[in-house]
Chains A and B, each alone.
Chain A
Amino acid sequence: MTNETILSIEKLNISVKKNKIIKNLSLSFYKNKVTAIMGPSGCGKTTLIRSLNRMHDLDKSFKVKGNISFGNTNLLKADPILVRQQIGMVFQRPNPFPNMSIYENVLAGYILNGIKLSKEEKDNIVDINLKKVGLYDEVSDNIHRKGSHLSGGQQQRLCIARTLAMKPKVLLLDEPTSALDPKATTRIENLINELKNEVSIIMVTHNIEQASRVSDYTAFLYLGDLIEYDTTETIFTVPKDKRTEEYLSRKYG
């Protein structure tokens, strides 16, 4: 099985003050695949995923060394604004913009970057992306109302639509369902499955079943080290490392 690499991390080191959070980590993510990053609390999985679209820039205490290649560019050296337009991110808690309508929320990336669109282009982008996340039928009547009256699951799908509207190459999901109920979670998981045809997905998850349900590849992190990285099937059936096995059998978490 040959896979095209979309993002490749080489010798990544991230530290805050004296604490090393990510230790000399190298890892390649594949195009049009869902990769789950798993590991116990404090293993550095959120730090890792946030470094991929330079969210760590917001906190000056993060020191990052290494290389993250995306095509021919090193993401760590590129302009963060350009990086974030290529690599979108959805967060743990749904965070639609409360001052914008559902319609404007989907277009938020364009609005915030000052990209002018015609009315038709706007309608088109909103329709396509709301349909993609399965929100179109649910909200089409009050698309010009604020997004904050939606349910948590709907809000999270709106956030995914907002990110997809920018046509990113990579979609980062940071525990996207941890604040949602089981039904909303299932919807998001199904959505992830549908979306991987157009975008490569990297997700952090605390939920072992979720990783096994939706991901093609799984990376297991422990205290900042990459312990194991393989197809999800292999990791879940024949883990090579004892720590992976113990985590999967919930000896610690």
Chain B
Amino acid sequence: MKLNKTNLEKRLLKNKIFYETIKIFSYALLIPLALILFYIIKNGIAYLNLDFFIKMPAPVGETGGGALSAIIGSFLIVGLSGLIAIPLGMLIGVFLAEFKEHKINNLTRLAVETLQGIPSIIYGIVAYAWFVMPFGKFSGISASIALALMMLPMVAKATEESLKMIPYTLKEASYALGANYYTTIKKVILPSCQKGITSGVLIGISRILGETAPLLFTAFGNAFLNFNMAKPINALPLLIYNYASSPYQEWHQIAWASSLFLIIIVLGLSIISKNVIK
């Protein structure tokens, strides 16, 4: 066999161009992220101080103030969403991975995948129709349900994928020691999947933490400090939405600080979830 030298050079050049193109585009992707971070840090860092965490928003015209009610509201709403979505999502994930022969397995998978693709505002409208209209008031609970529905498919998928990675021999080992199905799942299979499920949960949380659209129809926002989930409640994305579109300079500052705070949490969660997998 004879190799033409010019041909070889051409191929090497092609290879190099391809390689460099990939590199350029990967670096290019960093630019928008860096710009977003830079812009938010530049505008928000000065106001992300202790006051931000411990003070209520100041009335129009007064300087200072913080986002206490929104921070508390966000954590309450997301916390309740997690309480609903994590156990349910894990059960659905176990069903998807374990009962492949079951007649509604494919239907369930289709439902989970469809839920994943539904725009977040639809969740808001649905929660509004189911929980806000019948009770006649906006509430933190209805927001939690909307966000839980968003988080559910992520937890279910993460559980299913991690369960698939568990070798069958592990299950056999558990049965061979006399364990039944329930204990095998609870004490061997799910704990062995802990990392995958945790990372799915963290990604789910960081996704719903910044959701605004569903909250407009459900949590609605509240000018006062509120711990009651049955009442309208404030949240960070709502605060950003309301304050950023207001004409007041002080409110813009709080909105910037809130944006920075949200981004820090989301970045943190995504770094943690990456390390969890390792």
What residues make up the interface of A, taking CB atoms closer than 8 Å to B? 53, 55, 58, 81-82, 84-85, 88-89, 91, 93, 95-100, 108-109, 111-114, 159, 162-163, 166
CB of B192 closer than 8 Å to a CB of A: yes
Is the pair A82, B173 in contact by a Cβ cutoff of 8 Å?
no
Is the pair B184, A84 in contact by a Cβ cutoff of 8 Å?
no
Total residue contacts A-B, CB cutoff 8 A: 67
Is the pair B177, A88 in contact by a Cβ cutoff of 8 Å?
yes
Residue of A nearest to B191 (CB): A99
Q: Report chain A residues within 8 Å CB of B172.
A: 55, 58, 91, 95
A46 to chain B, nearest CB (A): 12
Which 3 pairs, one residue from A and one from B, show the smallest C-beta to C-beta distance? A112-B179, A99-B191, A85-B178
> Which of the residues B171, B177, B183, B191 comes within 8 Å of A166, measured between beta carbons?
B177
Would you give 24 A-B contacts (Cβ < 8 Å), ordered by A?
A53-B176, A58-B171, A81-B178, A81-B180, A84-B177, A84-B178, A85-B177, A85-B178, A89-B176, A91-B176, A95-B169, A96-B173, A98-B192, A100-B191, A109-B177, A112-B178, A112-B179, A112-B187, A112-B188, A113-B177, A113-B179, A162-B177, A166-B177, A166-B178
> Which of the residues B167, B183, B184, B187 comes within 8 Å of A95, measured between beta carbons?
B167
> Which of the residues B176, B180, B183, B191 comes within 8 Å of A55, measured between beta carbons?
B176
The distance in angstroms between the C-alpha atoms of A159 and B169, with both chains bound, is: 12
Residue of B nearest to A89 (CB): B176
Those of B133-170 within 8 Å (CB) of chain A: 167, 169-170
The distance in angstroms between the C-alpha atoms of A52 and B172, with both chains bound, is: 14
Q: Report chain B residues within 8 Å CB of A108.
A: 174, 177
Q: Report chain B residues within 8 Å CB of A96.
A: 173
